[in-house]
Chains A and B, each alone.
Chain A
Amino acid sequence: MKTQKITSNIEENIKLMQQMLGDDKTVKLHRFRPADKTCTNLECCLFFVDGMVNSPLVNDNIIRAVVTHRPTVAIGRDKLTYIEQRVLQTNETSQSSDPEQIIYSLLYGDTIVFCDGCDKALIVGSKNFLRRGTEEPPNEPLLKGPREGFTEPILMNISLLRRKIRNRKLKVEYFQLGEITQTTCCICYIEGCARQDIVDELKRRLNAVRRDGILDTNYIAEQIRETKWSPIRNTGSTERPDVAAAKLLEGRIAIFVDGSPVALTVPYIFLEAFQSPEDYYVNFFFAAINRTLRIMGFCLSISILPIFIALMRFHRELIPSQLLLSMAASRQGVPFSITAEAIMLLLAFEILREAGSRTPASFGQTLSVVGGLVVGQAAVDAHIVSPAMLIVIAFSGITGLIAPKLKSAIIWIRLTLMILSMVLGLYGYILGMLWLLLLLSEQSSFGIPTLSNMPVVRLGNAEDSIIRFPFHLMRKRDRFIAGRSDTLSNG
């Protein structure tokens, strides 16, 4: 197969581009030359993708600049460099003779300029996509704190991050992922805070990612994690620049993908699931209560249903007599077993949750009223379910929402514990909890144990674990993540 390359003949280059792009109507070709009759050897053409470029820049700073150009010095043999340095009025230009790179830049919103007699093309940065503003991320709302969130263009996200960390040690390294999409990705870290061995390991794993397309950070998250089948994630994610900046300051590394408003952060420890940015923006007493409630909510959410089923099926001796009587009474007339009832209600709750998250906000209230109240009450009245089970499922579901980062983990853990409790009673529940503990103990994120920072493991790191200490007592950077106990500058 004949190797395609840029030649010094502009017509051949145009043909080559048209051949490579096929019949793409969005790619526009424009020929132009200086109006000055004395300047006849600057015949140019440019390619750009309609809708992706900054039109005033293309018109005024490229086309007009060339058309109105009157040479004052002799144009040398390297006409492309002459145009780049003396004619065009743009701040981002580069030369390339690689057709693949030229096409990539063209499709990414850059303008390609060919000049007759030059065997290279000039790539002029003219990207201008339609994009939304920096709104507060709907998945991470705060009552108090910054309201801005990441958006889709990667450069904008990096600029939001740079605005938070104005330090030359903030390193940003770009690379492309996706065999077909050639998506621009980057890793950010603060030199001196992040462990170099973790940075190197992350790069190694990113290099090993092989997919046709990378459309979101989760495409990467699932491929760089150590334990592929664990329900508990081992990469963090955020849509907030303040959170990403805080993670970087703790020694973590952020991964951005162009087109995704979500930044990944690694290494990730289990306690991060219970942290909220608001913990650091409110009084530490309040933050400590909130974080403790989140941990309790997680424990209740995974435990209350399995324990209830185990007690009702196997260990009724443990239920106080009066409570047992009211529970037994509430089940009178219900045709299904406790197991079937639990599975049905759990399924109904998950369907309602999923429907609620996909439904437009204007229907949300109707959904909750009809789904939660009307159907729930009707099911109890019709003796399809017992009120006690309805309360347990509702409580289990609501407490599960208190730690949204563990949403999927909670569903799987709860289901596993529930099945174990159905079969083995409290014995099964204890076995399940042991399995969970072993899973968490065994899991690590880039060599950092997921359970690190638990005060039970090491008291030294307790200041930002189950509760948040006041800032004047948070003196050390995390030993596990940063690799040493650096004293923070505010310490």
Chain B
Amino acid sequence: MSLSVPLLCGCSASTEIDKLMIVSGLSIDGTDTYQITSQIVNLQDANQNKLSPILLETEGTTIADAMSALAQLEGQKLYFTHAQTILISSERLKNGEASHLIDLLNMAPRFRSSIRLAATVDSAKEILQTEPHTDPISSFSIRDSLVECYRMLKAPDVPFYVFLNDTLESGIDGVLPLITVDDSGDTALPYVCGTALFKDAVMVNTITTEETKYLLLAKEKVSNAIFTTDTHSFLINTGKSNKKYKNGVMTFEIKLELSLIEGEKSDDKTLEQMVSDDIETGIMTLIDKLKALDCDPIGIGRCIKRQSPKYWAEVYPYQWSQVYSQLEIRTDIKVSIVPSPKLAEKEN
């Protein structure tokens, strides 16, 4: 019994930390074959207080092929647990690559479920090759950038487990942030340019950062985020999105408490009305576009499923596309603008 303890507890899995190749990020490209690029942290330069990335490229007919080729490349064990981002080219995602990726990440216990996923407009490898100023390891920088973009309501922040849930659950479709390379300056840098929309794990279209703002407001609770209109910028103190389905009508109840950051201060009521109109228009326009794509990243179907399960059982899956395209949607947006603490202090 006692002797079996070391055998059962996985102690044979121990490895010296310096014998590992720490993978910080992955990119998946290719059309017919899979081209996987791994970004590995080069620890040899660490003694000069500098971390630098090494890119290793492999190719295979399946993801598993390419990954096993990667493991043989350097002779050392690849360590994926601290990988921060996986970038997949739009080209692959349009071919339904997301389902393969889900299978891979689900089966490989070495990946964290909080690893960030992103779609790339062009080559995913190009994004990994960029050298951001803030962090020489671009995967880390991209992860930080995605978190920050979510705070600016420019792109969704999608850990793997969220994408997995949204993709596999009926009544909602997954989304991923969309990244491209901005080479307008001296150095090519990754740039978040919108959101990739999915339908049944296949990328169907993209929306801009402006549209993403309304998608996030309609979809989830947001707080401490920055909301901008054409003329003003606000800090969202609290933002609640409540979806109600009653008598065949879907109503979005959105309550926002904002603090004005920038822009001409006017009568609060006028400003509140202006923001409310802006959000209503933005959401309705976005929903029309999503209906046309038969794509539901907001989770309207999930709301109906939870609030009216019998009706959902009747319409899903065969009639749902038709029901969704004809669903009457209303908005009930309540905006309150409170002075920021500094402004309040000044006024007093």
Contact = CB atoms under 8 A, between A and B. Distances in A.
Interface of A: 312-314, 316-317, 321, 324-334, 337-338, 423-425, 427-428, 431
A184 to B, nearest CB: 49
Interface in B8-22: 9-11, 13-18, 20, 22
Contact of A317 (B20, B24, B81): B81
B290 interface: no
Contacts of A327: 17
Contacts of B20: 316, 328
10 contacts: A317-B112, A324-B17, A324-B22, A325-B41, A325-B51, A328-B17, A331-B18, A338-B16, A424-B9, A425-B10
B17 A338 contact: yes
Interface stretch (B31-39, B42-50, B152-160): B42-50
A327 B16 CA distance: 11
A313 B15 CA distance: 6
A269 B42 CA distance: 53
B191 interface: no
Nearest to B49: A329
B84 interface: yes
A427 B13 CA distance: 13
B11 A329 contact: no
A324 B82 contact: yes
Most buried by B among A316, A328, A332, A338: A328
Contacts of A328: 17-18, 20, 22, 41, 43, 46
A340 to B, nearest CB: 10
B107 interface: no
Given A324-B82, A325-B41, A325-B43, 16 more contacts: A314-B10, A316-B81, A321-B82, A321-B84, A321-B140, A324-B22, A328-B46, A329-B46, A329-B51, A332-B43, A337-B16, A338-B17, A424-B6, A424-B11, A425-B11, A428-B9
Contacts of B6: 423-424
A338 B47 CA distance: 19
Contacts of B47: 329, 332-333
A328 B13 CA distance: 18
Contacts of B13: 314
Chief secondary structure at chain A's binding surface? helix
B79 interface: yes
Contacts of A337: 16
B14 A313 contact: yes
Contacts of A326: 46
Nearest to A313: B14
Interface of B: 5-6, 9-11, 13-18, 20, 22, 24, 41, 43-44, 46-47, 51, 79, 81-82, 84, 112, 140
A260 B99 CA distance: 78
A140 B10 CA distance: 46
A455 B21 CA distance: 48
B9 A332 contact: no
A312 B46 contact: no
Nearest to B18: A331
Contacts of A427: 9
Nearest to A321: B82
- Secondary structure of the B contact surface, majority rule: mixed
Centre residue among B18, B22, B43 by max chain A CB count within 10 A: B18
Nearest to B21: A328
Contact of B43 (A313, A314, A329, A424): A329
B104 to A, nearest CB: 18
A386 to B, nearest CB: 9
Given A316-B81, A324-B22, A332-B47, A425 B9 contact: yes
B11 A423 contact: yes
Contacts of A314: 10-11, 13-14
Contacts of B81: 316-317
Nearest to A332: B43
A369 to B, nearest CB: 26
Contacts of B11: 314, 423-425, 428
Contacts of A428: 9, 11
Contacts of A313: 14-17
A324 B41 CA distance: 11
The 5 closest A-B pairs by CB, nearest first: A329-B46, A331-B18, A313-B14, A321-B82, A317-B81
Contacts of B22: 324-325, 328
Contacts of B46: 325-326, 328-330, 332
A424 B18 contact: no
* Interface core residue of A321, A326, A431 (most chain B CB under 10 Å): A321
The interface centre, meaning the residue of B11, B14, B84, B112 with most chain A CB atoms within 10 A of its CB, is B14
A334 B18 contact: yes
Contact of A316 (B24, B41, B79, B84): B79
B202 to A, nearest CB: 32
Nearest to A327: B17
B5 A424 contact: yes
A350 B112 CA distance: 40
Nearest to A333: B47
B226 to A, nearest CB: 26
Contacts of B84: 321
B229 to A, nearest CB: 37
A337 B14 CA distance: 11
A208 to B, nearest CB: 35
Contacts of B15: 313
A332 B112 contact: no
A224 B168 CA distance: 69
A425 B17 contact: no
B44 A332 contact: yes
Contacts of A316: 17, 20, 79, 81-82
Contacts of A424: 5-6, 9, 11
B158 to A, nearest CB: 19
A428 to B, nearest CB: 8
B20 to A, nearest CB: 7
A423 B18 CA distance: 18
A321 B15 CA distance: 17
A426 to B, nearest CB: 10
Contacts of A425: 9-11, 14
Nearest to A331: B18
A410 to B, nearest CB: 25
A420 to B, nearest CB: 10
A198 B64 CA distance: 72
Contacts of A334: 18
A329 B11 CA distance: 24
B241 to A, nearest CB: 32
A279 B47 CA distance: 46
Nearest to B41: A325
A208 B152 CA distance: 80
A425 B13 CA distance: 10
Nearest to B42: A329
A424 B7 CA distance: 9
Contacts of B79: 316
A264 B14 CA distance: 46
A313 B12 CA distance: 10
Nearest to B47: A332
